[in-house]
Chain A
Amino acid sequence: MSLLRTLRIGVLARALEEILQVPSQAFGYPLLQPKGLSREAREGLVKVCPSGAFFEEEGIFSLDLARCVGCGRCALVYPEAVGEMKTLEVAVVRREDLVQRVDLAAQAFLDPGPPPPPRPELRLPTLAFREVSAGDTGLADSEIALLGNPFNDMARFGFQVVASPRHGDALLVTGPVSRNMAQALERTYQAMPEPKGVVAVGNEAIAGGVFAESPEVWAGVDRVVPVDVYVPGDPPRPGAILHGLLLLTGRVVQRLVGGVVR
């Protein structure tokens, strides 16, 4: 068995299922427990979260995964109110699918309905992508680069980085899009041939992350160029980014719907 596997993917490469798991020592993504959201827990959660990922509004309590930095404190302090998702299959095509919303009266998740399918013209056996860092601290960039290392070996899925946007099928963007980078990002996008996909990699790229309030950033790639796939994380682990690329090329189905694995 292991010889067969080695012959197939090499000595160091990890199997896809392994790459798509959060390792045991680290906190994955938080998961609200609709039945455990007492008033006290809700007030506590809003206070304990350093990045303001919890909101309460008109009987609906929500958690935005794109604001969560993954510290794990909410689940530690209020285990009855917040659990954990250990999967890295978290990429989505619809922004709302990163927000868990609980109807407090019904003690149940709100279902936003089935997500739209990925774009059929991007159903590709291989994908060449260009990366643009637009205000990222360098870590999301680093994770994308590490997708190419012998452990993750994205080349076996047909993914490769290209030097010019003219050779790309997809654009990966990291960072909250600093004002000073917006024009360069737009022009890179325009330089790509059709059909082209855009992946927003990391919380900052999705909605600005901790920089959302800064006047120097656009706080979201989709405010500058259209986005096809969102990959939450701070930064997302290589497995999550890989899932985003697989989702973009239509090779896996979206797992998160309304922020919950369904």
Chain B
Amino acid sequence: MEAVKEALQEGRPVAYFPYGEGALLLVERRRSLEAFPLGQGRRLPSLAAEFPSLDWFERALWERGLELVGHPGLRPLRRHDLPYAFREFPHLHEVPVGPVHAGIIEPGHFRFSVLGERILNLEIRLGYQHRGLLGIMPGKGPEAALLLAERAGGEPVAHALAFAEAWERALGIEAPPRAQYLRRAALELERAFGHLGHLAGLFTDIGYAYGATQVGRIRALLQGEVDRLTGHRYGRNFIRAGGVWREGRPDLEALSRYQKELDWLLPRLLKHPQVLDRMRYVGVVRRVEALALGFVGPTARASGVERDLRQDDALYPAFVPVVRQGGDVLSRAQVYAEEALQALEYALRFLHQRAEGPLAVEVEAGDGEGMARVEAGRGEVFWFVRLEEGRVVQAEGVDPSFKNWRALELAVRGEGLPDFPLCNKSFDLSYAGNDL
């Protein structure tokens, strides 16, 4: 137990799922992964009081029928058939929002406790998107399972990649070099596409129509290149266990043109007085909070946490993560802008470098366990699979949004209610990814 605590003190949880008699907790410390099997007889000691980063993980385990001994406040996360009580704040006005929102977004419920216009507390209740994805995984072969993994969160390429790599590791095989490059190219295009979407959304939310239209225009053109590379507007049906299905021909010249245009455009847009006025010092997440709650991806990097899984990927030699210290909406926007440019640069590099050889290796039916992590646009995507005779026995996935949702609760504290949409957009979390 002491070893676990020590690891959590310096690191952050990556995944926590039922395993054998108890559960397996994976912790990342100093950029390496440590595994701790905990509990027995479906009873686990709760560590959430000491390590709040484990709170949602433990609630998710409890919902799945494990007993969490000593948890300070067990409430359901995804199941709506269990009773749920919101925290009450006497004398404060309550503003309930959702699950159906005013825009075209996924459903979730937000309960604001406000004093005048100021948000003193926000409680997020999710689970509306729960489709029981992990529950229908067992028994699936590689192709049907991958279809589900691609639908686990807002970033199909990242999820498919992590899932395929987990599958390959379970069987001890590796995708050929040509597929490796193509997969990474798709991943980077997805990142650029997603980040530009966040930026366009932010500009829309502050009423900066010029910025929103310009970024939206290039984003739509970029989507055409994703379509050319993968045959799908969001990169589904592209990655398979063992490699990729096809090699499309994106227009490399067009891609570098978009990159140049963005290179000119984005820094100027982010210096516009209207942008500075509305985004600076708003929705701050401090570094200590990011570390204590184990945030990942751009959310963590905009708060000064220098961590990106691509640092460990051999295909990204001497990778330098984009980091900002401010922790506010502007810092996150700056991280998105810079990462989008960086992503396009890597995508171009991978597409130029592409190797010769087969697109995939044969995947035989076999037994084994494997796990993999991929840095998606929103942060760390994790998949674990256990296979028997080439079929899933257990699959566990963690979307980055699952780790980041509470950043929004922190960011809006003390802000005005009308700034909520802006703060929400600055994280652009996946509801489905959280609710699995």
Partner among B128, B154, B216 whose Cβ is within 8 Å of the Cβ of A149:
B216
CB distance from B296 to the nearest CB of A (A): 19
Q: Which listed residue (A71, A139, A178) contacts B131, Cβ 8 A? A: A178
Q: A69 — which chain B residues lie within 8 A by C-beta? A: 147, 236-237
- Write the chain A residue with the least CB distance to B228: A25
Given the known inter-chain contacts A146-B220, A210-B148, please indicate yes or no for A181 contacting B104, CB distance below 8 A: no
Q: Knowing A51-B144, A213-B136 are in contact, say whether A135-B432 is a contact too (CB < 8 A).
A: yes
Whether a CB of chain A sits under 8 angstroms from the CB of B321 is no
Whether B233 sits at the interface, judged by CB under 8 Å, is yes
Complex interface: chain B residues within 8 A of A150 (CB):
213, 216-217, 220
**One of A35-43, A100-108, A126-134, A244-252 contacting the partner:** A126-134
List residues of B (383-433) whose CB comes within 8 Å of A's CBs.
Answer: 430-432
CA distance A217 to B432 in the complex (A): 13
**CA A72 to CA B232, docked complex, whole Å:** 11
Tell me which residues across on chain B come within 8 A of A138, comparing CB atoms: 105-106, 154, 430-432
Contacts of A141 in B (CB 8 A): 104-106
* Residue picked from A132, A133, A164, A165, most chain B C-beta under 10 Å: A133
Q: Does A95 contact B (CB under 8 A)?
A: no
Please, which residues of chain A bring their CB within 8 A of the CB of B153? Answer: 137
**Nearest-CB residue, chain B, relative to A185:** B100
Proximity string of chain B (215-227) to chain A, C-beta cutoff 8 Å, 1 when within and 0 when not: 0110010001001
Q: Find out whether the CB atom of B131 lies under 8 angstroms from the CB atom of A214.
A: yes
Asked if residues B127 and A234 are in contact (CB atoms below 8 Å), the reply is no
Q: Which of chain B's residues have a CB closer than 8 A to the CB of A134?
A: 107, 128
Provide the residues of chain A in CB contact with B217, threshold 8 Å: 12, 149-151
A179 interface residue, CB < 8 Å from B?
A: yes
Q: Which residue of B lies closest to A49 (CB)?
A: B143
Shortest CB distance A105–B (Å): 31
List residues of chain B with CB within 8 A of the CB of A73. 245
Q: Verify if B156 is at the interface (C-beta below 8 Å from A).
A: yes
Contact pick for A178, options B105, B129, B224, CB 8 Å = B129
Chain B positions 115-158 with a Cβ under 8 Å from a chain A Cβ:
127-133, 135-136, 143-144, 146-148, 151-154, 156
Chain A residue nearest to B145 (CB atoms) is A50
Cβ of B270 to closest chain A Cβ, rounded Å: 21
Cα distance A199–B313 when bound, in Å?
A: 44
Contact of B147 among A133, A146, A151, A210 (CB under 8 A): A210
A124 at the interface (CB under 8 A from B): no
- Are A51 and B220 interface neighbours, CB within 8 A? no
With A178-B130, A188-B100 given, is the CB distance from A216 to B135 under 8 Å? yes
Judge whether A225 is part of the interface by a CB distance below 8 angstroms. Answer: no
Q: Which residue of A lies closest to B233 (CB)?
A: A237
Q: Roughly how many angstroms separate A138 CA and B227 CA in the complex, as a whole number?
A: 17
Interface members, chain A 136-172 (any B CB < 8 Å) = 136-139, 141-146, 149-151, 161, 163-165
The reply to whether the CB of B358 lies closer than 8 angstroms to some CB of chain A is: no
Cα(A149)–Cα(B218), bound, Å:
11
CB pair B104 A214 closer than 8 Å: no
Tell whether A210 pairs with B232 under 8 Å between CB atoms, given A135-B129, A161-B104, A184-B107: no
> How does the 8 Å CB contact mask read for B226-244 relative to A, with 1 for contact and 0 for none?
0110011110110000000
The reply to whether the CB of A1 lies closer than 8 angstroms to some CB of chain B is: no
Q: Assess the A184–B100 pair: CB atoms within 8 A.
A: yes
Output the nearest chain B residue to A51 by Cβ-Cβ distance. B147
* Chain B residue at minimum C-beta to C-beta distance from A129: B104
The interface residues of chain A lying within 8 Å CB-to-CB of B249 are: 25
Query: In the complex the two chains form, is B102's CB within 8 Å of A23's CB?
Result: no
Q: A181 with B132: in contact, given A150-B216, A210-B151 (CB under 8 Å)?
A: no
Interchain CB contact under 8 A, B231 and A27: yes
A135 & B104 in contact (Cβ 8 Å cutoff): no
Per-residue contact bits, chain B 155-197, to A (CB 8 Å; 1 contact, 0 not): 0100000000000000000000000000000000000000001
In the assembled complex, A34 has its CB within 8 A of some CB on chain B: no
A4 contacts the other chain (CB 8 A):
no
Give the chain A neighbours of B432 by CB distance below 8 A: 135-138
CA distance A73 to B197 in the complex (A): 31
Instruction: Assess whether B135 is in contact with A214, with CB atoms less than 8 Å apart.
Output: yes
C-alpha gap A210/B146 in the complex (Å): 11
For B231, the chain A residues whose CB sits under 8 A away are 25-27, 72
Q: What separation, in Å, do the CA atoms of A131 and B216 have in the docked complex?
A: 21
Tell me whether A190 is interfacial, beta carbon within 8 Å. Answer: no
CB atoms of B156 and A139 under 8 A apart: yes
- B248 near A: Cβ within 8 Å? yes
A259 contacts B by Cβ under 8 Å: no
Interface residues of A in 195-210 (CB under 8 A from B): 210
Q: In the bound complex, what is the Cα–Cα distance between A32 and B80 (angstroms)?
A: 42
New A-B contacts (17) at CB < 8 Å, excluding given A27-B231, A50-B146, A180-B129 = A25-B228, A25-B249, A26-B227, A51-B147, A52-B144, A72-B237, A138-B106, A138-B432, A143-B233, A149-B216, A150-B217, A165-B100, A176-B131, A179-B80, A179-B130, A210-B148, A216-B130
8 nearest CB pairs, A to B: A216-B132, A163-B102, A50-B143, A71-B237, A214-B132, A180-B80, A138-B154, A145-B104
Give B contacts to A, CB under 8 Å.
Answer: 78, 80, 99-100, 102-107, 127-133, 135-136, 143-144, 146-148, 151-154, 156, 197, 213, 216-217, 220, 224, 227-228, 231-234, 236-237, 245, 248-249, 430-432, 435
Task: Jot down 8 A-B pairs with beta carbons below 8 A, ordered by A.
Answer: A51-B144, A150-B220, A163-B103, A180-B78, A180-B80, A211-B151, A215-B135, A216-B132
